Structure formats: C-alpha cells, structure tokens
Amino acid sequence: MTTATPPTISLHQLSLHYTLGASRIEVLRDVDLQIPAGQRVAVAGPSGSGKSSLLLLLAGLERPSSGRVQVDGVDLASLDRDALADLRRDAIGIVFQSFHLLPSLTALDNVALPLQIAGDPQAFDHARELLQRVGLAPRLTHYPSQLSGGEQQRVAIARALVHRPRVLLADEPTGNLDDHTAALIRELLFELHRDSGSTLVLVTHDLEFAARCDRVLHLHDGRLHERPRPVAQPHALPA
C-alpha cells in the first residue's frame, strides 16, 4: 500500500550522457540533490543545459548513465518497466514542454485517459471536475487542434494532476504563452499545489515563478547549483 505522504526526491551522484555516433554529450555530471516532501523547486539554466533531461530522469522516463534517482526511498533503477509504469501512474504527474496531448482525443478524453488506464470507474467525473477547475468547462469536447496554446497547456496540467500525484514535474509550463496566460497558469499551478501538498519541480525561466518557489536551482555545464531565491516584486516601481 502507498502512503499519502508526499515522497522525498533524492539524487545521488547522478550523471547522464548521450552518445551520438562517435560523439558523447555530457548532460549531467555528479548531481546530488534532496527535495523534501511538499517542497516547490524551480530549475533554471540555459537552453540545452539538461533541464528537460533532469525531469525525464525524475519521472523514470530516462535511465541515468550512473548514479541514483530515488523517489519515496525507492531507487528507480531497481524497478522493472511495469513497476516504473505503476509508479508513474500512481505518484508522478508530468507536464511536458510541448503538451503531448493526444490529437485524436477530446480534452475530456485526454484528461480521463490516465484514470481509465488505471481502471477508475469515475474517470470521466474526475476529469470533468478538473477541467472545470482550470476554466475549460466549455471546451470538454474540443480536440487539441481546436484549442489555443494556453488552453492546451491547461488540459496538460489537468491531465498531469487528475490522478492526484504526489510529485508534479512541469517543463517550462509558461514557456510558450503570452504574459496574461502565463500568469493564469502560474496561479493555477500554485493553487493546485497548495490544495494537494505535492512536491513540485518546475523548469522555468519565469522569474515570477521562481520567486514563488521554496528553492531555485541552476543547471550549468552539467552541474546543479543552488541559487538565492529572486525577491518577488509585488509592485512595479514608477518609471
């Protein structure tokens, strides 16, 4: 049985490299990190610094070249494919950079799918409820191609949260959105985080986002550095 307590994420001497033909790309080198349950962590860093790769490792969607990823005290390397899939289904929600919605499914079907796979008889009720929560009640039967970028992002967030994961991983969730929509998505993610008490790891360049997290980490040259948190600016100073 799983507990209701959010897990701690723990990385130990984590390294990742990709081999392309004769060349080897070092992405992460000896990364150590502990994320206590319920913490909000922002990860920043230049393009290509390995932010998305780090999230994939945390989700068990990529295997480290060396080192360990532990979620809830479980070393992901000790799990076979099925056990990893179970962990993702039960404990981890992920919002991908490019949404990854299934184009042939409506918004409602996209969000209900993870619950249907898990055999939840109330899959559609839960999916509908969450889509209403993210302001998409009038868009339930729309297909991704009929939705704006911000709407697709909200569907992706609803889908990532519908099974009440204890870890939410989000890859630049406001990266492709205008300022107004980005602000809506920020509020939504923090509101949902507050309600669920989940652990949140957020890849972002958005300083407003980072300022509201408990910690800010910076990836550079394969290394992870802790940065002082930017100070939130509640009021813009007059010019």
Note the residues at the interface with Mg ion (CB under 5 A).
51-52
Report residue 141 as tokens. 């039967």
Residue 45 interacts with ligand ADP (CB under 6 A)? yes
Least distance from ligand ADP to the Cβ atom of residue 64, Å: 13
C-beta of residue 101 within 8 angstroms of C-beta of residue 152: yes
Number of residues that bind ligand ADP (CB under 6 A): 12
How far apart (Å, rounded) are the C-alpha atoms in residues 202 and 51?
10
Residue closer to ligand ADP (CB basis): 133 or 223:
223
Q: Is the dihedral of CA 79, 84, 90, 93 positive or negative?
A: positive
- Distances in whole angstroms, Cα of residue 177 to Cα of each of 6, 17, 63, 95, 181: 30, 31, 30, 14, 6
Shortest Å, Cβ 39 to ligand ADP: 21
* 15-44: contacts with ligand ADP (CB under 6 A): 18, 20, 25, 27
CB-wise, 4 or 20, nearer to ligand ADP? 20
* R_g of the chain, CA atoms, integer Å: 18
Backbone angles phi, psi at 154, to 5 degrees: -65, -35
Choose the one of ligand ADP, Mg ion, none that binds residue 27, judging by a C-beta under 5 to 8 angstroms depending on kind.
ligand ADP
Q: Does 64 bind ligand ADP (CB under 6 A)?
A: no
Selected from 7, 50, 93, 150, the binder of ligand ADP by CB under 6 A is: 50
Where along the sequence are the contacts to ligand ADP (CB under 6 A)?
A: 18, 20, 25, 27, 45, 47-53
